[in-house]
Chain A
Amino acid sequence: MTVLVVVLLLVVLLLGVLVAGLLRSHAEILRALHDLGVNLDDGHTGPRTFDVSDRGSQEVNESGLAVPVAGPLPVAQDLRGVTPEGDAVQVALLGANQPTLLAFLSSGCTTCLDFWSELARHRGAPAGVGARVVAVTKGPDAESPSAVAELAPPDVVTIMSTEAYEDFGVGVAPYFVLVDARRGVIGEGAARTWSQLAGLLEKAVADGVVAGGGAQGALSRRDVLSGRARRDLVDDELARAGIIPGDPSLYEDPHAGSDGPGEGGRSR
């Protein structure tokens, strides 16, 4: 009898461990899907916007954010689609009076929700970029127009267009593309927060200026994102000043000593 009880207890313990393992594995899968924009919460009736077949050329990092891959930047196309209210819209990107920040968002991912509310709060792009914002979701075939209508700020042009996702090779939201009115796409990438987006845009603008009117598509996507062009420019400037790689002056502590001009200025 005692042996039977012990065996039963062992079986129950084993099953318990098995169930716990399965629950943990399930939770990890749910978390990973959630980061990719798929919401499986109870009561969520919205569309599941992530589709592996639509991922295009992007990769996804361990945080679930889209990572641009090496290769030429996408060619800027005018956006065509519908508004969440069902009206027709065409947005011109080239020839406009200002750069355009395309915010590829969805109504399903939590990261996107933050960007929707920030767009409403700021009424446009992060300060200093001088770009107008166009929010882009997938079309009504993949997104709920009513869900997008609830999130779309009234002062931001919002367009539902699966065609735009395909044209710009965007598979996972959130994703951002900065289009210069004359030179086309000058930067792209994903961000998790509004401040990250601001940093990304500043770099893209700086790199775009450095690239100085190169033909559209001439910059590699990696060049833009890594700031390689900016690094080369800095190297050139230093070389002209007689400072070459390995120069001892590059390794001096700028704050060493208290009689420098800055310190002296403060002590007076």
Chain B
Amino acid sequence: MTRPVAAHGISITPPRGWEVRIDLRREDPIVAPAAPRLPGETISRSGTMTPFAHLGSFALPARRSDYGAEAVERMKARDVFVALVEFDREAADTPMFARRGLPALRMTDFHPTAMQRPMPHMCGAQWFFTEQGRAFCLYVVLGSWVLRRSLVTTASRTVKGIRISPR
């Protein structure tokens, strides 16, 4: 493990040789039309600004969407990718985010069809949870379905290095 990388209330202590980004989703300057029931209340087309973190056992590209599709495309068989995406504060503790705290990763959680965009030989898993009053999705991709046993161990160790503090 190395020293932690921290921003936006997320602290990550990655394994040695891993790349980390903790970004804040940029607010789109274009404002969405006001909802009929909320006259006068405007919001950016991109929604509110919430952070997302990416961890990779490989070189992460400069441009990445929230769930890192551009990074996943570069993965090799022994690579692991982790995305931690925060949702709006109002989502915390709703049924979808009822789970408390970061999940413990199990091999049986992973499946090729659980990927945001299915890729040959890869598998993924995602969890929704609330931590410190904040709603998150944890999305993990393993570079190989066949090697998932060892890769889950690596991913699990990486996720244990994530700390979330109240905002």
> Which residues from chain A sit less than 8 Å from chain B, CB to CB?
78, 80, 82-83, 85-92, 94-98, 100, 132, 153-158
Contact = CB atoms under 8 A, between A and B. Distances in A.
Nearest to A124: B62
A88 B5 contact: yes
Contacts of A153: 62
B75 to A, nearest CB: 10
B167 interface: no
Interface in B67-120: 76
Interface stretch (B12-20, B126-134, B148-156): B12-20
Given A85-B23, A88-B5, 7 more contacts: A78-B16, A86-B7, A87-B23, A88-B7, A90-B19, A92-B19, A97-B58
B21 A87 contact: yes
A90 B62 contact: no
Interface of B: 2-3, 5-8, 14, 16-24, 26, 57-63, 76
B5 A156 contact: no
A97 B59 contact: yes
Contacts of A100: 59
B59 A92 contact: yes
A154 B62 contact: yes
Specify the main secondary structure of chain B where it touches its partner: loop
Given A88-B22, A155-B63, A96 B58 contact: yes
A121 to B, nearest CB: 15
B49 to A, nearest CB: 11
Contacts of B26: 85
Nearest to A94: B17
A83 B3 CA distance: 18
A132 B60 CA distance: 10
15 contacts: A80-B5, A85-B23, A85-B26, A87-B8, A87-B21, A87-B24, A88-B6, A88-B22, A89-B22, A94-B17, A98-B59, A154-B62, A155-B62, A157-B60, A157-B62
